[in-house]
Structures are given as C-alpha cells and as structure tokens.
C-alpha cells in the first residue's frame, strides 16, 4: 500500500448549523480514513466556533474551499436553497461531493445540479442516512437476499417528536418534501423497486398554524411500485412518546421489520404490568450510528473509485414522488409518477 493509499480523505464542510456541525465532528473524530480539512458557514460565528473546537481552519467563502487543492471532497450542509449552486460549483471544481437532502424543491433545478455532477463525473452521495441504519439496512438485506421472497406489502411509519417552527415549515416544501421524502427513499430502498403511482390523504391535527403555510402535519400515503408492491407510509409531526421510525416489508416468504430502539433496556414490572422507557427523543439520538456508517460508505467509495451508494437517481426519485403526493392531496386522486416527470 502506498503512502497515497493511506492518506486520509480530506473533507471540507459547508454549513455548520446543527446537522453540519454533527457531520464535521464525525469526520474529525469517528470516520476512519477521513479528515476534516476546513469548515465554512455564512454565519461567521458558527464557523469560528466549530473551527476552534475541532482545530481546523474556517474558510472565508465557500468558493475558497472549492479552490483549496488540499480538500478532496466537500459536504454541503447549508440551507436547502443554496444546494444547487454549491453542487454546480463542486462539480466545476472536480470535488467529490456529499450533499444533505434535498438537492432542491424544484425539479428543474435538481436536474440542473445533477446534470452538472454527472457531466463532471465527480463522486456524489445524497444524505439519505437512514439507509445506513443497521436495522433498516437489515430489512433491505433480507429482501435482497430473498429471505422475504417477493415484496407484496410495505408499511412505513415515521413520526417526529415535535413539529418544527412555522417559519421553517414555510420554506420547507411541506411535509411530503421535507419529512416524508425520507420514507419515499426508504420505500424504494427496501423494495428495490421504483414507484409508479401515489395516493395521498393528509390532515392538520396538531399545529393549526401550519394552515398559514398551506401545510399538513399528519398524512397517509399509498404507493404502487413498478413490481406491484403496495406501500403505506404514515407521518405525524408529533409523537408524544418520541421519535418513531419503523419499516416492514411483507413478502411471499415472510416479513422483515425494523423496530424502534428504546432509550435503554431496563424495565419495571409491578402489579400495574411491565413498564419500559420511551423511544430516544429524536434523530440525533436514534440515527447517530447511521451517520457514521454513511460517511464510511462515502469515504470507501471515493477512495476506491466506486460510485457512492446513494447517488444521482436516488437524489431525484423521492422528490418526484413527493411532488406527486402533493398533487394527489390537492386533486383528491391517485397521481401517476409520469404526470410529474412530464411537468
């Protein structure tokens, strides 16, 4: 093995808010073969704080990072509306690029960004971290190995502990593009089959103020897959018992499920029955191992010259499903995926 082979992949992180800061810390401390090269944030104090804590330079502009020949890759973790320009710039600079979801809420813009990436041939991975959760991944493996046979029915429940603020919701693209987009990805991932039709029903049950944003907080969606599998996805913005993320694939030979971890494995048994603790509160507690594994997969792919495991088609398809879900909700009818593709 040459010196080059063992050199760490040097990654710069653009945007160090809550999620970007977490990525920076993971890259710095917990991802073998990776090194944090620099950080940047439009909000300078955030960049300075992370820079000081992790002992890496804070770039003055994002562009500075693209020009830095010591950086092998960039992680785009800034606000969604900046992703397209940054992806195009990364492609131009020839950097491997990891991007938090979504690429954009606008399909034309998504295609512009992904087109630039494709043309440049730079390694690209989109941040659907749940694919790397060991339990969800075990469901996919059970399907891929044939252990559950042909998938017939899928159930996905995804419920947050608390709704985001109204201001966030207003620019989020709505529940289907902000929250259920992870579940659309999960449905494609675990079945290995694309979606051809969407039927959505939604309601405002938790946070009436979301009406101002024209959004819903509760939804139930039916997907029809190309192979005939039927998927039900439900979402809620508030589960009183904490973050709830479950996936189930039922097929001709059996069923694979991923259930919620509990905060710990203690229980108290009394005349009132058995009491166990609630779920871990939210995604940082539940999905931390998935983020580490997500980075391991990216680093391994880039270093090995392979296409990263969640790449261009996976970045686009869930957005299309989400747009179809929105149309279904507005028009009160099932919507074919090609209706949106054509748009």
Span 154-213, contacts to a second copy by CB under 8 A = 155, 157, 159, 199, 201, 203, 205-206
Instruction: Give yes or no for residue 38 binding a second copy (CB under 8 A).
Output: no
Q: Which stretch binds a second copy (CB under 8 A): 141-149, 163-171, 302-310, 313-321?
A: 141-149
Beta bridge partners of 195: 225
Which one of 18, 43, 330, 333 is in contact with a second copy (CB under 8 A)? 333
Count, residues near a second copy per rule CB under 8 A = 73
* Contact by Cβ (8 Å): 12, 68: yes
Residue with smaller CB distance to a second copy, 83 or 136: 136
d(CA 201, CA 238): 17
Per DSSP (E only), the strands in 160-217 are 195-203
Q: CB under 8 Å to 4, separation ≥6 — which residues? A: none
Angle of helix 283-304 relative to helix 134-144, nearest 10 degrees, comes to 60
3-state SS class at 219: strand
Instruction: Give yes or no for residue 234 binding a second copy (CB under 8 A).
Output: yes
Q: How far is the CB of 1 from a second copy (least distance, A)?
A: 18
Burial class (CB in 10 A: 0-12, 13-18, 19+), 194: middle
Instruction: Give yes or no for residue 224 binding a second copy (CB under 8 A).
Output: yes
Which one of 48, 152, 170, 327 is in contact with a second copy (CB under 8 A)? 152
Instruction: Give yes or no for residue 22 binding a second copy (CB under 8 A).
Output: no
Which one of 43, 44, 212, 241 is in contact with a second copy (CB under 8 A)? 241
Binding mask 289-328 for a second copy (x = CB under 8 A): ----------------------------------------
What length does the chain have? 343
């Amino acid at each position: 093995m040459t010196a080059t082979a063992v050199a760490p992949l040097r990654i710069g992180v653009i945007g160090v808010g809550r999620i970007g800061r977490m990525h920076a810390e993971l890259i710095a401390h917990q991802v073998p073969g990776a090194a944090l090269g620099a950080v940047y944030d439009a909000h300078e104090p955030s960049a300075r704080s992370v820079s000081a804590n992790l002992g890496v330079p804070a770039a003055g502009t994002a562009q500075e990072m693209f020009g830095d020949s010591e950086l092998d890759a960039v992680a785009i973790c800034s606000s969604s509306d900046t992703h397209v320009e940054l992806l195009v710039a990364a492609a131009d600079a020839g950097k491997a690029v990891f991007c938090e979801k979504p690429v954009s809420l606008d399909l034309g813009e998504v295609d512009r960004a992904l087109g630039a990436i494709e043309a440049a041939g730079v390694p690209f991975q989109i941040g659907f971290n749940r694919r790397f959760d060991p339990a969800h991944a075990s469901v996919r493996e059970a399907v891929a190995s044939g252990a559950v046979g042909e998938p017939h029915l899928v159930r996905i429940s995804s419920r947050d502990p608390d709704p985001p603020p109204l201001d966030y919701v207003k620019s989020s693209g709505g529940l289907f593009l902000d929250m259920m987009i992870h579940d659309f990805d999960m449905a494609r991932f675990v079945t290995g089959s694309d979606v051809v039709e969407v039927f959505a029903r939604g309601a405002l049950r938790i946070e009436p103020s979301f009406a101002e944003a024209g959004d819903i907080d509760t939804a139930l969606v039916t997907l029809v897959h190309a192979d005939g599998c039927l998927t039900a996805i439900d979402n809620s913005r508030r589960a009183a018992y904490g973050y709830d993320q479950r996936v189930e694939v039922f097929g001709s030979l059996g069923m694979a499920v991923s259930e919620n971890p509990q905060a710990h494995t203690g229980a108290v048994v009394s005349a009132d029955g058995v009491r166990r603790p609630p779920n871990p509160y939210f995604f940082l507690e539940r999905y931390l191992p998935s983020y580490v594994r997500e980075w391991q997969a990216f680093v391994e792919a880039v270093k090995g010259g392979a296409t990263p495991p969640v790449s261009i088609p996976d970045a686009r398809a869930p957005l299309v499903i989400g747009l179809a879900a929105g149309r279904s909700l507005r028009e009160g009818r099932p919507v074919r995926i090609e209706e949106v593709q054509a748009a």
